[in-house]
Amino acid sequence: MPANNLTTAERRLSGKAYADRRWALTPDADRPAATKPARDAMWRKYLDAVDPERTLPEEERNRRAAQLRSSDMTLLALWREQRKREQRTRREAGKAPVNDHGDPGAAETAADLGEPAELVTDNDR
């Protein structure tokens, strides 16, 4: 099935399967090397954001980039906590969880995961 015809749940499961396969076949010693290009690219993004013209001294540029990265990680943690609270509130109200795009109708349910339809209750949709 073409990737653009996959549901959210199918894309997530496909990505997880390929990631698990990759890491299962990657020796532990090679894991840092395998992710280094992505880490370097992200660090360059932070450096570009704080000093696109490279006019600051390197130490100051690195300090600011580290602070920006810390800010981003803190915001991710905040968003995760807000998301958990929203999902908990929806569960307590008997509503389906909201998917990553804010669509309650497309939330992951047993049916989305290929489970038998009888396991899906009205509260799941």
Nearest to 51, CA basis, from 32, 64, 38, 42? 64
Is position 122 within any domain?
no
Pair of tokens at residue 114: 């290929």
Nearest to 102, CA basis, from 83, 125, 85? 83
Is position 125 within any domain?
no
Q: pLDDT at position 3, please?
A: 63
Query: In this predicted model, what pLDDT tens digit does every residue of 54-104 receive, in sequence order?
Result: 999 999 999 999 999 999 999 999 999 999 999 999 888 888 766 655 555
Is position 64 within any domain?
yes
Is position 8 within any domain?
yes
Q: Give the structural domain span for 24.
A: 3-115
Domains of the chain: total:
1
Average pLDDT over residues 20-26: 93
Q: pLDDT at position 95, please?
A: 80
Query: In this predicted model, what pLDDT tens digit does every residue of 105-121 receive, in sequence order?
Result: 444 444 444 444 343 34
Is position 120 within any domain?
no
Q: pLDDT at position 100, please?
A: 56
